[in-house]
Amino acid sequence: MPTVLDSLNQSLHQLMDADERVVLLGEDILDPYGGAFKVTRGLSSRFPARVFTTPISEAAIVGLASGLALRGLLPIAEIMFGDFLFLAGDQLVNHAAKFRWMYNDTARVPLVIRTAMGGRRGYGPTHSQSVEKHFMGVPGLWVVAPHVLSSPGELLRQATLECPDPVVFIESKTCYGRSLLPGLPEMTTTVVSDAESPFPTMLFRQDRASDPDGLMWCYGGMVPLCVEAIQHLRAAEHLSVDLAVVSQLSPVPSTHIRRILDDARPQLSVYVEEASVAHGWSAEMLAQVQEYAGAINGTARAAPYEGSTSDRPIRHERIGAAYSPIPSNREQEREALPQIHDIVTRVLECF
């Protein structure tokens, strides 16, 4: 099976081959280097007039890319490490995401910002963060994360050609070398996508006849760890935990949440992210699940789960990194970031 890196690289080649409006820009993306994580390898050799190396200025990269998008091109800009998105924050949040409204829908900014995110590589506190939470909830800005259970390349193609607004495309450093998985054993796969929330959620249900014991939500680099966790819970603890892998982080895919919960209501809803859970993705996901469940302070407000065998309020559990900078020391980094054992332990504590 191809790796995440292969899928992204092949998609970039196909995009540039198929559409002359697609241009690339970023630091050190020319051959023979091909980018810090080699996602752009081979592209400057094939398309030298449309691949631009830039100075070390994230604000300049995103500002230039925004201008190219306004002039009708489809720029894909690479920010070498996600930690540096803050340096482009003004161009991204106050300009690219707002031009549509500032110019009364006469201008759109079809821009993709690719960036490597997360830790587990020993890169230290300024090159290991998961800062995507700080860009969620910005009107006009999409945040999307590929993973190993679907095609990262197809997600990049969708972000480039089908979204008329800026997209922050979060790539997990630790997943670049991982092979894509065609599915999960003893689980049924459903792809959830619609016009309101176009970037898909992959739902994996355990083969069973009753409601699940739990439902685990995750994205990006946490997907491989969550897969191992639910497999352990099934084999060793006989717990049936479904897995919902989200690719559209922001806007929150509310329609996906409603559809998933309409089909089966879990006793436990678990949210796993690599960042700390404070003010993050898991908090907004929990709020959306709880609001749709219709329970406030344990009192049912609605019953959208026809046929469900459970009428108990859903218990929620959020799992993430320690509320601290990411240490440089590898053992301390491991302790700071959520591991498979942490996920399994926290789930078991809920029963």
Could you give the CA distance from residue 284 to residue 246 in angstroms, rounded to a whole number?
13
DSSP 162-177: T-SS-EEEEEEGGGTT
Question: What is the distance between the alpha carbons of residues 247 and 265, in angstroms, rounded to a whole number?
Answer: 21
Closest CA to 300 of 291, 268, 287: 291
Q: How many helices (H) and strands (E) does the chain have?
A: 11, 15
For residue 156, give every residue at least 6 positions away whose Cβ sits within 8 Å of its Cβ, in sequence order, or none. Answer: 8, 11, 12, 15, 76, 112, 114, 146, 169
Phi, psi of 196 (to 5 degrees): -75, -35
Residue 221 bridge partners (DSSP): none
**Rounded CA gap, 293 and 303, in Å?**
7
Given a contact cutoff of 8 angstroms between Cβ atoms, the answer to whether 85 and 58 are in contact is yes
Strands 74-79 and 22-26: parallel
Catalytic residue (one of 13, 95, 127, 147): 127
User: 127 catalytic, yes or no?
Assistant: yes
Cβ atoms 314, 301 nearer than 8 A: no
Residues 77, 113: Cα–Cα separation, whole Å:
5
Structure tokens at 7: 């899928």
Distance, in Å, from the CA atom of 41 to the CA atom of 53, rounded to the nearest integer, reads 13
Q: Which residues does the annotation mark as catalytic?
A: 127
